[in-house]
Amino acid sequence: MTSSSPNSADTGSKIMFTRQDEWKNTGSPDGEIKVFRPTMEEFKNFGKYMEYIEQQNAHLSSGVCKVIPPEGWYPRPSKLPDDYSDIDDFIIECPVRERIESMGNGCHVKNNVVYRKEMKVKDFRRMALSKQYGTPQKNYDLYNLEKHFWRNLLHHEPIYGADTPGSIYDSDVKEFNMNCLGTILDLLKEEKVTIKGVNTVFLYFGMWKTTFPWHAEDMDLYSINYLHFGEPKFWYAIPSHAAEKFERLAAQRFPDGLQICKAFLRHKLYIISPTVLKQNGIPYGTMVQYPGEFIITFPKGYHMGFNTGYNCAESTNFALERWIDYGKNAVLCYCRKDTVEIDMRPFMKKYRPEEYREWFDYWYGERASTYKPTKPDTIKTRKRKGSQDSGGGKSETGSEDSSINLPRSICTKRQRKIFQARKPMFDLWANRPVNLFAEKNS
């Protein structure tokens, strides 16, 4: 379909960047982001189409892909395609002021400061389109705007209306409706578990230069993002096969973050420039998301981006069966109270029945309950020698390390002691989905 951007009556300003030619990747050739254009028939079955996308290896070439809906589809058929005037009085909860601090050498940390307790959309729009906060009024195309963003990253503190609960889809829309995608993540609702923004929908109201730093989704889930109206979003994404290399780079560049939390990238505060990625041989792709388009992120697909002007997006998480091996192996943040943690037992029992009993006994059975890990303060940290495949550890405090694949009953005390001693030194980010005995969720 053609661009579904709001007209000037809706936004108070003419849209600067409309969909024209295909975006040409400004990243590395081996990180190109794929674009899909389903027919209306294909578009009707979300899960089946996601499987088709992965059959085309979209998840191998990049951490994200783009889906352009078939012409004639709208998420709000009860309204005119460009009419979003009904959300003027919608309340944005706790919009934040973004402050970015340079750490040198192309690395930055974002700090969020609450701007107000709440704000109406019409007031946010007025601010976003003002001279102070609006997109630079220069004769830029999006390629030049990307360069302008990085040159001026430390200047100007925009306001972001992120993580606001709600959806502006029509409730009777069946196709790609984030309120009812019909994936295996619905098992959470069957278990009467609600996690805001994970199996519920969030809205995001952006303005020029508001940023979402590098991160993979909570529990390494999939996500779906639809841009309703306004100026485009600019995306960067890294293929999942390069995730560990990227994590090691981030750990080197942000040692203070790593010292605080093993999963510090879950905090969504750390920015690494494309130049640094190129210098370190990390493949990445770029993509522009115009209004009326979807971006899908894959498990362990690191991504970041920024808004090119006033806009509104809607997003949630979902899961296919392939995610289970990532979910049970996800390295979690335990330094924050709002950490997302999903109990993997129902998923393993329903979708991995042949593995469930052995996996359950390992983590929740008699051996797990009787095993007493060596106290960390009795072990001298040893320098890493060589490589070691590992699964994620439960946490930094009182955790059990799952990196050893031998059954506990045949692990000697000395073996456990060696692995516990070396744990802080190797593979802090090893999220290998081949490990049956992955992270325990209690």
Lowest mean pLDDT among 45-54, 97-106, 108-117, 395-404: 395-404
Annotated catalytic residue, options 303, 395, 403, 439:
303
Q: In this structure, are 354 and 277 located in the same domain? A: no
Average pLDDT of the chain is 83
- Is 315 catalytic? The answer is yes
Q: Is residue 435 part of a domain?
A: no
Q: Is residue 328 part of a domain?
A: no
Task: pLDDT band for 363, please (50, 70, 90 cuts).
Answer: confident
Q: In this structure, are 406 and 286 located in the same domain? A: no
Q: In this structure, are 304 and 352 located in the same domain? A: no
Residue 366: the pLDDT is: 62
Residue 429, amino acid: W
pLDDT in tens, 247-289: 999 999 999 999 999 999 999 999 999 999 999 999 999 999 9
SS3 letters across the chain: CCCCCCCHHHHCCCCCCCCCCCCCCCCCHHHCCCEECCCHHHHCCHHHHHHHHHHCCHHHHCCEEEECCCCCCCCCCCCCCCCCHHHCCCEEECCEEEEEEEEECCEEEEEEEECCCEEEHHHHHHHHCCCCCCCCCCCCCHHHHHHHHHHCCCCCCCEEEEEEECCCCCCCCCCCCCCCCCCHHHHHHHCCCCCCCCCCCEEEEECCCCEEEEECCHHHCEEEEEEEEECCEEEEECCHHHHHHHHHHHHHHCHHHHHHCCCHHHHCCEEECHHHHHHCCCCCEEEEECCCCEEEECCCCCEEEEECCCEEEEEEEECCHHHHHHHCCCCCCCCCCCCCCCCCHHHHHHHCHHHHHHHHHHHHCHHHHHCCCCCHHHCCCCCCCCCCCCCCCCCCCCCCCCCCCCCHHHCCHHHHHHHHHHHHHCCCCCCCCCCCCCCCCC
Residue 16: the pLDDT is: 73
Task: pLDDT band for 4, please (50, 70, 90 cuts).
Answer: very low
Last residue of a domain, one of 285, 319, 353: 319
Q: In this structure, are 304 and 369 located in the same domain? A: no
Q: Is residue 431 part of a domain?
A: no
Lowest mean pLDDT among 60-69, 80-89, 372-381, 383-392: 383-392
Q: Is residue 340 part of a domain?
A: no
Q: What angle do CA 354, 317, 29 make, to 5 degrees?
A: 95
- Is 362 catalytic? The answer is no
pLDDT in tens, 139-175: 788 999 999 999 999 999 999 999 999 999 999 999 9
Annotated catalytic residue, options 28, 315, 390, 395:
315
Around 162, how many Cα atoms within 13 Å sit in the side-chain half-sphere? Answer: 18
Task: pLDDT band for 338, please (50, 70, 90 cuts).
Answer: confident
Q: In this structure, are 268 and 365 located in the same domain? A: no
- Is 182 catalytic? The answer is no
Distances in Å between the Cα of 78 and the Cα atoms of 41, 177, 312, 347 are 21, 15, 19, 37
Q: What is the mean pLDDT of residues 193-205?
A: 95
439 in Cβ contact with 431 (< 8 Å): no
Residue 433: the pLDDT is: 39
How far is Cα 29 from Cα 355, in angstroms, rounded to an integer? 39
Annotated catalytic residue, options 32, 146, 217, 231:
217
Residue 100's DSSP bridge partners are: 110
- Is 303 catalytic? The answer is yes
Q: In this structure, are 179 and 72 located in the same domain? A: yes
Q: Is residue 430 part of a domain?
A: no
217 in Cβ contact with 8 (< 8 Å): no
Look at residues 94, 357, 128, 49 and name the one whose alpha carbon lies nearest to residue 203: 94
Task: pLDDT band for 371, please (50, 70, 90 cuts).
Answer: very low
Residue 356: the pLDDT is: 93
Q: What is the mean pLDDT of residues 212-241?
A: 97
Task: pLDDT band for 24, please (50, 70, 90 cuts).
Answer: confident
Q: What is the mean pLDDT of residues 175-199?
A: 95
Task: pLDDT band for 306, please (50, 70, 90 cuts).
Answer: very high
Q: In this structure, are 259 and 368 located in the same domain? A: no
Residue 380: the pLDDT is: 38
Look at residues 426, 420, 324, 427 and name the one whose alpha carbon lies nearest to residue 372: 420
Lowest mean pLDDT among 112-116, 303-307, 337-341: 337-341
Give me the residue label for tokens 């040159």: 151
Q: Is residue 330 part of a domain?
A: no
Q: What is the mean pLDDT of residues 18-40?
A: 87
- Is 197 catalytic? The answer is yes
Which tokens sit at 187?
A: 């098992």
Start-to-end CA distance of the chain, whole Å, equals: 46
Annotated catalytic residue, options 197, 206, 292, 301:
197
Per the structure, how many domains does the chain have?
2
51 in Cβ contact with 258 (< 8 Å): no
Residue 80: the pLDDT is: 87
Q: Could you tell me the residue range of the domain that residue 35 belongs to?
A: 8-319
Residue 382: the pLDDT is: 34
**b vs e for 352-373, b when ≥16 Cβ sit within 10 Å of the residue's Cβ?**
beebeeebeebbeeeeeeeeee
Q: What percent of the chain has pLDDT over 70?
A: 79
Can you give the CATH number for the domain in which 250 is found?
2.60.120.650
Q: In this structure, are 259 and 390 located in the same domain? A: no
Annotated catalytic residue, options 134, 175, 215, 341:
215
How far is Cα 434 from Cα 439, in angstroms, rounded to an integer? 12
Task: pLDDT band for 423, please (50, 70, 90 cuts).
Answer: very low
How far is Cα 48 from Cα 35, in angstroms, rounded to an integer? 17
Neighbours of 202 (CB within 10 A): 20
Q: Is residue 441 part of a domain?
A: no
Give me the residue label for tokens 């490990």: 435
How far is Cα 415 from Cα 419, in angstroms, rounded to an integer? 6
Task: pLDDT band for 25, please (50, 70, 90 cuts).
Answer: confident
Q: In this structure, are 399 and 277 located in the same domain? A: no
pLDDT in tens, 373-416: 544 443 333 333 333 333 333 332 233 333 323 333 334 454 44
Annotated catalytic residue, options 115, 169, 204, 302:
204
Q: In this structure, are 50 and 136 located in the same domain? A: yes
